[in-house]
Structures are given as C-alpha cells and as structure tokens.
C-alpha cells in the first residue's frame, strides 16, 4: 500500500494529439479514487501511464517513495483489472489466479521429489512457497465467493464470475495499488450494481490504494472516496462525491455529474427594488436571500443558472418561484417520474417529481424552482461557478 502521486504528467502522441495535459493528483494511501469523464477525456491514458503501459511525455509519477517513470510495469508492484478481464482461456480459475505468484517464485524447480534428495532445504522452501500461494488463492476465492469455480476454465463462467476471477487475480498479489480500467462495462445493469457493491466491500476489507476509471458518473459517485472529473486531458474538479455534486466547479462538471443532468437557463442578473432578480426574458425569478450578497457584484451581467431536476417541481413549494413550460415527455420510474419540458427560452429540460404528481404530455404546466438550491455560472471563462468562487 502506498501513495500514488502525479506531478505535471502529460501524454502527447506522435501525431501531435495531447491526450493528457499537465495532470497533478495525489492519491492517498488506502484511498479509493475514481477518474471519470466522457470518452476521450484522458482518464484511461492516465491510468495506463501509472501502470507503465504508456510512456509519459512529461512530468513525474511516484508510487510510494519511488519515481516510476522508467520502471517496467512488472516492477511497479501494482495490479490491474482490465475491461475485457484478460484471463488465460487454457488455464483454470485457480491457475489464472496463481499465475503471477508462480512466476515470482524464488525457488522454482526445487519442488519436485528429486530436489528433496539433492537439496532438502531448497525443497522445503519451494514447498512452503507453493503452500503460501495456495493459501492466498483460496483465501481470495473465499472472499469473492468463487471457491467452487477454481477448477473451471473461463469459457465455462458467466461475465460476473469472470470479473470476480480477474479481481481475485489482482488481490492475491497484495500490490501497493489496484488499477481498475472500466471493469464493469461488459456486465448487464443488474450485475453491474451487484459488482459495484462487491468492489466497495472488497476495498473496505483489503484497504489497498485504488484508482478506478469509468465513464459512468453514477458508478463514480457510489464508489469513490474522491472523484476526479476530467475533460480534454485536464482535471476539472477533484472532491468527494457529495462536493462534486453539490458544488460543481464549472458548467461542464455540473452537466456531467448527475442523472438526469443539470438544467441550464440563460439570463441576466438584474437589480430590482433593493434585491436581485434573474431575468430569463420569459420569466423573472427572485434570488434567494442567502445568495443576494454573494451575487451583488454581478448585477447587470449575463449569467447561466443551473438547477438540478430534483429542485424543479410541478406543484407549489415553499420559497419556490415559477415559470411557464410545456410538458413534452414523461418517464415513469416507479416511485418518481422524470418530466421533460420546453420553455420559451430553452428546450429539453427535465424535472424529477414524485409519481403521485401526474403530468400530462403535450400540456402547459408551471415549473416551480427552489431558488436557494440553484447554481450560477459565468457564460465565459469555461463556465466557472460564480457562487463557488465567491464563497471560497
């Protein structure tokens, strides 16, 4: 177990494409950090550079006390779980899990009966080594609930069972860090949820530094101690899942994290009668008292208001304000309904309401906003969060 530190790490390919641009990140000992972002954002490339599978173009990577820029992957003392599992098809589950340990045996070739007569001390050491490997494999199999699969080959396993074997192969090595590269993307929805919980329980038990890559922001929010949101090879925000959700650094983070995504309304902040109002053209919404002082200096300037679907309602709520809308589609989800609507200013917006509050499609409706829970972003400067910057 060890810290993993990236300092100004970059990756530029031969064709000039910059996949990773000056990433700085410290992952604490025993911490579970998730790299998340859209396809092509550089998260997998970053992980592969930590693993040594990609050469870095600049910067420094440390695992523990050692700089590993020029260290071969096999010597970095890390274990990686791939998206396609990478199991050897001709080997049993037991052999797959034990393979890396057997390669690293110090007393290879001394475990046969002839060695007992020639060099009994080495024979005993070799047998103890094999017994230790067997114990680690069986302990990992018991932890993952695959003891009864040890004699099977990968083709006789389901996707979830193969995933457990791949994780077990990483566990037995007892590395300084685990690296997961979208390990659940090949599983069906139900199994993904089960394996997500399995990985979280596993981390709590083995307490090994873990870097996990995914494009699924829900997966990132449920698994990570911290979430690293990336785009265009750069880190846009690092924080706890709750912090990233409730205090997004910019409009990209706000729109990427959350299902359904945040709604955005363009308008301007206007001073009216000693208070502030957000004017969207088709409706005016009074700024919540707790935001008035923070937003005073932005009066008269254009801003973008962001509102999570759960802060918009089809029925009146205390401290809420309304604007007209037209309901286009409803998506029943059991205990809740996602209601999609258009306004005179924007299209394809969504609110999440209780299933008891029915909404009729192709009908007008009033949308009520919890103004004390909205966000404001600069329309320029990468859409930086105005409230977050002022508060800090």
Query: Domain ranges in the chain?
Result: 4-246, 262-391
* Topology alike, domains 4-246 and 262-391: no
pLDDT tens for the chain, 392 residues: list them. Answer: 689 999 999 999 999 999 999 999 999 999 999 999 999 999 999 999 999 999 999 999 999 999 999 999 989 999 999 888 889 999 999 999 999 888 877 666 556 665 555 566 776 777 788 888 899 999 999 988 899 999 999 999 988 899 889 999 998 988 999 999 998 887 888 888 888 888 898 888 888 999 999 999 899 999 999 999 999 999 999 999 999 999 999 999 999 999 899 999 999 999 988 889 999 999 999 999 989 988 998 999 999 999 999 999 887 655 567 898 999 999 998 889 999 999 988 889 999 988 877 778 898 888 999 999 999 999 987 889 998 765 54
In degrees rounded to 5, what are phi and psi of residue 278?
A: -95, 115
Residues 6+ apart with CB under 8 A from 71: 52
User: Which pLDDT does position 187 carry in this prediction?
Assistant: 82
In degrees rounded to 5, what are phi and psi of residue 28?
A: -70, 160
Q: Which pTM value belongs to this model?
A: 0.88
**C-alpha 50: how far from chain center:** 17
Q: Tell me the DSSP string of 25-77.
A: EEE-TT-EEEEE-STTSSHHHHHHHHHTSS--SEEEEEETTEE-TTS-GGGS-
User: Which pLDDT does position 335 carry in this prediction?
Assistant: 87
Please give the CATH number for the structural domain made up of 262-391: 2.40.50.140
Residues 6+ apart with CB under 8 A from 121: none
User: Which pLDDT does position 392 carry in this prediction?
Assistant: 47
User: Which pLDDT does position 272 carry in this prediction?
Assistant: 86
Maximum CA extent, the chain: 99
Please give the CATH number for the structural domain made up of 4-246: 3.40.50.300
What separation in angstroms does the CA of 353 have from each of 217, 329, 333? 22, 13, 10
């Amino acid at each position: 177990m060890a810290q993993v530190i990236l300092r100004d790490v970059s990756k530029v390919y031969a064709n000039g494409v910059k996949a990773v641009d000056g990433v700085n990140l410290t992952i604490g000992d025993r911490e579970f950090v998730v790299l998340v972002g859209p396809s092509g954002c550089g998260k997998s490339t970053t992980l592969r550079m930590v693993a040594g599978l990609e050469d870095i173009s600049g910067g420094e990577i440390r695992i523990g006390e050692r700089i590993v820029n020029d260290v071969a992957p096999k010597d970095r003392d890390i274990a990686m779980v791939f998206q396609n599992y990478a199991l050897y098809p001709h080997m049993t589950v037991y052999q797959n899990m034990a393979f890396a340990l057997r390669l690293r045996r110090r007393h290879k070739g001394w475990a046969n009966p002839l060695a007992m007569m020639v060099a009994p001390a080495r024979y005993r050491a070799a047998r103890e080594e094999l017994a230790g490997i067997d114990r680690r494999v069986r302990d990992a199999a018991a932890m993952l609930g695959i003891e009864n699969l040890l004699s099977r080959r990968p083709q006789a396993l389901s996707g979830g069972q193969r995933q457990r074997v791949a994780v077990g192969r990483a566990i037995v090595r007892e590395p300084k860090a685990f690296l997961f590269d979208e390990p659940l993307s090949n599983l069906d929805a139900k199994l993904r949820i089960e394996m997500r919980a399995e990985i979280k329980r596993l981390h709590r038990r083995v307490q090994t530094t873990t870097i996990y890559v995914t494009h699924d922001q829900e997966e990132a929010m449920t698994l990570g101690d911290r979430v690293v949101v990336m785009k265009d090879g750069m880190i846009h925000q690092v924080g706890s899942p709750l912090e990233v959700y409730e205090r997004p650094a910019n409009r990209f983070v706000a729109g990427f994290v959350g299902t359904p995504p945040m709604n955005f309304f363009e308008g301007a902040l206007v001073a009216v009668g000693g208070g502030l109002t957000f004017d969207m053209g088709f409706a005016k919404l009074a700024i919540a008292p707790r935001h008035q002082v923070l937003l005073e200096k932005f009066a008269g300037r254009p801003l973008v208001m962001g509102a999570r679907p759960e802060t918009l309602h089809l029925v009146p709520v205390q401290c809420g304000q309304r604007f007209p809308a037209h309901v286009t589609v409803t998506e029943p989800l059991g205990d809740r309904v996602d209601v999609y609507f258009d306004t005179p200013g924007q299209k394809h917006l969504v609110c999440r309401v209780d299933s008891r509050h029915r909404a009729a499609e192709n009908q007008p409706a009033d949308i009520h906003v919890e103004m004390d829970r909205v966000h404001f972003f600069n329309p320029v400067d990468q859409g930086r969060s105005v409230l977050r910057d002022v508060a800090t």
